[in-house]
Structure 1
Amino acid sequence: MHDGYTDLIYVLLPVWQKEFGLGYAELGVLRALFSGTMASFQIPSGFLAERLGVALLLALGTALTGIGYCMAGASAGVGVLMLALFCAGLGSSTQHPLASSLMAQAFSGARSMKAIGTYNFAGDIGKMTLPAAASLLLVFMPWRPVLMLLGMMGLFAGLAIFVLTPRFAPDAGTSADHEKAAQLRIAAHRRFAFPILTAIGMIDSATRMGFLLFLPFILTAKGASLPTVGFALTLVFTGGAAGKLICAFIGARIGALATVWLTEGCTAALIVAVLPLPLEAAIPVLPLIGIVLNGTSSVLYGSVPELVTPERRARAFSIFYTGTIGAGATAPVIYGLVADALGISSTLTIAAGLVLLTLPLSLAIRGRPRMVE
């Protein structure tokens, strides 16, 4: 639901432009207000959850997101709309770190990676279904009642989370969790494991956003029409959604280290390979790129609980998600500047080379032949 709320804004931007007479820069501010608030308050959410409890704060955040969309539906001007999006973004800041922490508490070891991968996959389902539902409702109803209806869903979801989510003790975890936590405290070679994992996630996110930025232009240069570009992006996104689930199960089977080498190596190879291919040959490769481009994220998320003590999971997830989202937000700007100077093909070749940096970095956090067992 939260991921659906995040992408719902894209459906509403043209509506708001017509309703309030906004320019493109003002529309960009509205989008940035939601996403920037969400990203900025993830770390405070992680710290606050250690005091209030993960389940309670996640329920409150979900309800606040719903309230934000209800406010947006009742807004008579841009000022109220901005306040509504701030509230919605503030509520959504709880989702990534706290929901992931709950999954890690409920499932341990390899089960944790599978569970978090399934959770990530469910987020992509929400990104597809909630905006689609809003688009369908807008055919029959004005946009204000549509937002009120979708906002009420958030309120009910928050209540359901509060009632149904199990309460774990702050230091909940299996005996294996505590044994690993003790090892983390004394193992000097893993002292910087979590910061290195975060750096890998940031590189992975930056590569993903950079590739998606230039893909339409690559395809256009190969002779693709606008509908073909849209179809190609759909293939990438569909492969990406599947990759989050597939790679999580692969990671649970062969270990996170081997999976990172597999997915990141394939990402670099496929990005370079698609550049010289003709359009007819490039299109079938795109779902494979989507699988490996997004699949690594589930493996990295699933490795976070293994590198921190159980009572610090919410905090660790908040830091990890903030770092990866921030890298994904800034990468298009940096890669855009490089592309202006060197061209798109050279820029993507550089991006493919940079993603290979994750391979030696992953060796630095290897505590065992398998990072996650």
Structure 2
Amino acid sequence: MTALDANGRKAAARTVARGRTLWTACAAHALHDGYTDLIYLLLPVWQAEFGLGYGALAFLRGLAAATMAGLQVPAGRAAERLGGRTTLALGTVLAAIGYLLAGYSAGLAGLCVALVVTGCGLSTQHPIASAAVSRAYQDDARGPLGTYNFAGDVGKAAIPGGASLLLVMMSWHQMVWFLAALGAVVAVAVAVFFPANLRPVSLGKKAEGRASGAHGGFPLLLAIGILDSSVRMGFLTFLPFLLKEQGASLSTIGSALALVFIGGAAGKFACGWLGARFGVLATVLVTEAGTAAAILSVLVLPLVPVLALLPVVGLMLNGTSSVLYGTVPELAPSGRTDRAFAIFYTGTIGAGAIAPILFGILGDAVGSHGAMMATAITAAAILPLAIALSPRLAAKASAHAPVTPAD
């Protein structure tokens, strides 16, 4: 065998391993995000079944979100000790067990236990799968990370949508058991196909210096991610009320939200690749300035133009996130990609849970239009942060060079 043939085989094997890593991560992301948003479908079912008030329902949703957000960093640490494949497979099984328990619940206490178990399992996916895709593709990871993020939106649409169809044919207990079985299938796929070696890579001195020099950029990136998540959740909180004020029916409001989510899925897929093509700064400036302008347009336009604009709003709202996720590996403190993703997701998921409360309090004080305008101002506030981040990314790019791992 010639050296050329050997190199060709190695390149082919690397391509296969990359593809296997990406699509397994996408499957896990779709399932976990689908499990997360399935709760929205189940809340009215639980309200009717157990006679729960809105406060109790809000507590259930917050409990699952808080558990998932709070355990991102511990999940990353568990992956360092047990390996990413084992941790993600166990987390997927745990999430499925949580829904299995929910099917046996007889009231609020049982649902609380079930959602805490599910939240524990869901906390493993984002830091581990993101880091795996990042390591598989390295400097070319922006586009694949966009695909990975797009898969999460597919799961958000497919699993609650499929569950609503299953509810026509079976009880909600049987439906969650069926989806728990689906989780077990995905867990087996993770155990078989996900890469085993996800432990931190030993870096040479040059790489360590580069990672250390990028450290100053990570807090800025995290701040941008927190504000971006806050804008997205604040907008979605008040959009139904604005549409209702314009005379939209409940079915129209549902269709409007679907338009936003469709645009959001497209934004996550496209902007990851656009970030790789045109750079982080240009993409973030366009998406955040576009978000602010689109939100202000929603405030002043009549209903029909607003509906036409909503897919573009969704694209802008969600597009930034793919660019930010793709930048995490570049600015990970000390090169610890798993830990950086865990911290980043803790901040963004936590902001997504807290922001609707803060904007809701503001809305009570200044009205829905004033609160929506505050989301546009928050989007505009990201622009100077992105400009401040740009020199750190430029320094990272200028310092980049092939690095041989230390022995």
The TM-score, its normalising length taken from structure 2, stands at: 0.85
Does 1:59 pair with 2:89?
yes
Does 1:101 pair with 2:125?
no
Which of 256, 263, 283 is matched with 1:232 structurally?
256
CA distance in 1, matches of 2:153, 2:258: 12
SS of residue matched to 1:160: helix
SS of residue matched to 2:300: coil
- 2:28 aligned residue: none
**Residues 231/173 of structure 1: CA separation in 2 closer, same or farther (3 Å cut):** farther
CA distance in 2, matches of 1:113, 1:233: 27
- 1:171 aligned residue: 200
CA distance in 2, matches of 1:137, 1:364: 49
CA distance in 2, matches of 1:320, 1:360: 20
1:68 is matched by which residue type in structure 2? G
1:86 is matched by which residue type in structure 2? V
RMSD between superposed Cα atoms in Å: 2.1
Does 1:47 pair with 2:77?
yes
- Equivalent residues in 2 for 1:77-226, closer than 5 Å: 77-109=107-139, 111-168=140-197, 170-172=199-201, 181-185=208-212, 187=213, 190-226=214-250
- 1:13 aligned residue: 43
Q: Is the 8 A contact 1:100 1:116 kept in 2?
A: yes
Per-residue CA distance 1:142-188 (angstroms, 9 max, x = gap):
2222222211221221122112111225234999xx85543232x3x
Per-residue CA distance 1:282-314 (angstroms, 9 max, x = gap):
221111110011110010011000011685111
CA distance in 1, matches of 2:327, 2:73: 18
CA distance in 2, matches of 1:154, 1:311: 32
CA distance in 2, matches of 1:322, 1:231: 30
**Residues 169/298 of structure 1: CA separation in 2 closer, same or farther (3 Å cut):** closer
Per-residue CA distance 1:106-147 (angstroms, 9 max, x = gap):
1112x3111111111111111111112212122112222222
Shift of 1:217: 1.8
Shift of 1:17: 2.3
Per-residue CA distance 1:39-78 (angstroms, 9 max, x = gap):
1111111122121111211111001111111122233444
How many matched pairs? 367
Shift of 1:91: 0.4
Q: Tell me the percent identity.
A: 50
The TM-score, its normalising length taken from structure 1, stands at: 0.92
**Residues 235/370 of structure 1: CA separation in 2 closer, same or farther (3 Å cut):** farther
CA distance in 2, matches of 1:340, 1:22: 24
CA distance in 2, matches of 1:370, 1:258: 16
CA distance in 1, matches of 2:257, 2:239: 8
CA distance in 2, matches of 1:214, 1:181: 45
CA distance in 1, matches of 2:262, 2:153: 9
2:252 is matched by which residue type in structure 1? T
1:65 is matched by which residue type in structure 2? A
Structure 2 residue runs of 5 or longer lacking an equivalent are 1-30, 401-407
Does 1:254 pair with 2:284?
no
1:128 is matched by which residue type in structure 2? A
